[in-house]
Chain A
Amino acid sequence: MKELIEFMVKALVDDPTAVDISEVAGDRFTIYQCRVAKEDIGKVIGKRGRTATAIRTIINAVSTKQGKRAELEIIE
């Protein structure tokens, strides 16, 4: 799961080395915190948050298939 998020975010940004994903496991769902370079935040969020919504949709679909729940947080 983390690998998938990292792959998707790294593909979007200009500076893949600054991408950092950390996993916070909870009893009901796992939160993935995503940090990127300041210039790249707009690219991950997208116009009206559409790119972020697309990433979340993919994550939700994949995690439900595995019987888990996952959430993505983009941290500035």
Chain B
Amino acid sequence: MTKIKRSGTSVEAVIAAFRKEYQVQDWELSYEVVKKPRAGFLGLFASKTAVVSFDLPEVENRVKLFLQLLLQKMGVNFEKIDARREGKIVYLDIAGVSEPGFLIGKNGSMLDTLQYFINRVFDSDRRLSIIYLDSEGYREKKDQYFLRRFTSRIQETRESGKPLTLDPMHSSQRRVIHQYVKRQKGLRTLTVGDGDKKRIIVFPTKLSEQEVLDQTGTKKIKFSGKAPRKAAPQNKQFTGKKDYSPRKDKDKSGYRKPKYYPNRRPPKRGDHGRRTED
């Protein structure tokens, strides 16, 4: 929580300017008027400045407050929300829900929807990259259950030394596997494929990326980090000399090659090179 003091001609103007600057919505606005502009008596004791002190909560608390209000309006009873921030990622956990079936939904669909919605609301905030929503460890349990299907196969790659290619998966499922393999010593992951056919390859660190791609016969499309940037074009230096190199669109005799139009009918006698309507 940080306090910010602002001054202006009127209290309303100060509040409006502050809300615009920090994108503060009306439900999270909290302020204290330090000094009001006074009309004074016959111009005496008049002051034209208003000073307002605002409370600006931390990002995770803003997200938490929003979720609290949203759940209240949805009629969901809960005990508390835990908010945790790691860098640009915020983890929220809703605890003590009276109707967990309603909040989680079929296969976690309601939780997914709420998470998507909250992420859209805080899209414009550059301090956040993504918000993860969970209720009493439901997501975590689900992820663990999902991971259990792959752990033995992943561990086998360490002994066999052969890369293991998994089936195409959804991004959130791939994330679970990436994070698991990251914790394993001597193993690495690589993402291959494009669109909704992205696959994970798990391989021992002994192998290089190129070796893995050759062995599996796949092409790496997704970059693990930042995509390599193209070199900026070098500016042509002006030398003061005229360019006498032959024009590319003309052949040696100076005849300009006609453009190739695949659907154009061949010229007839009497056309004189002009195209006529027929």
- A residues lining the B interface (CB < 8 Å): 3-4, 7-8, 10-12, 16, 43, 46, 50-51, 54-55, 57-58, 61-62, 65-66
Contact B25 A3 (CB under 8 A): no
CB distance from B90 to the nearest CB of A (A): 16
CA distance A75 to B246 in the complex (A): 61
CA distance A10 to B73 in the complex (A): 14
Contact A57 B110 (CB under 8 A): yes
Contact A4 B102 (CB under 8 A): no
Q: Which chain A residues border B109 with CB–CB below 8 Å?
A: 57
- Tally of contact residues, B, Cβ under 8 A: 19
At the interface, yes or no: B146 with Cβ under 8 Å from chain A? no
Contact A8 B75 (CB under 8 A): no
Q: Indicate whether A61 sits within 8 Å of B73 (C-beta atoms), given known contacts A11-B121, A51-B120.
A: no
Q: Indicate whether A54 sits within 8 Å of B102 (C-beta atoms), given known contacts A4-B73, A11-B25, A62-B74.
A: no
Contact A16 B113 (CB under 8 A): no
Give chain B's interface secondary structure class: helix
CB distance from A12 to the nearest CB of B (A): 6
CA distance A51 to B118 in the complex (A): 10
At the interface, yes or no: B26 with Cβ under 8 Å from chain A? yes
Give chain A's interface secondary structure class: helix
Q: Which chain A residues border B26 with CB–CB below 8 Å?
A: 10, 16
Contact B110 A65 (CB under 8 A): no
Contact B121 A58 (CB under 8 A): no
The chain A residue sitting closest to B20, CB to CB, is: A14
Please give me the 6 A-B residue pairs with the lowest Cβ-Cβ distance, nearest first.
A4-B73, A11-B121, A54-B117, A57-B113, A54-B113, A54-B116
- B residues lining the A interface (CB < 8 Å): 25-27, 66, 69-70, 73-75, 102, 105, 109-110, 113-114, 116-117, 120-121
CA distance A8 to B75 in the complex (A): 14
The chain B residue sitting closest to A11, CB to CB, is: B121
Contact A50 B121 (CB under 8 A): no
CB distance from A50 to the nearest CB of B (A): 7
Would you give 6 A-B contacts (Cβ < 8 Å), ordered by A?
Answer: A7-B70, A11-B121, A54-B113, A58-B110, A61-B102, A61-B110
The chain A residue sitting closest to B103, CB to CB, is: A61
Q: Which chain A residues border B116 with CB–CB below 8 Å?
A: 50-51, 54
A-B contacts besides A43-B120, A46-B120, A51-B117, 15 pairs, CB < 8 Å: A3-B73, A4-B70, A4-B74, A7-B70, A7-B73, A10-B26, A11-B25, A11-B121, A12-B121, A51-B116, A57-B109, A58-B114, A61-B102, A61-B110, A62-B74
Contact A58 B75 (CB under 8 A): no
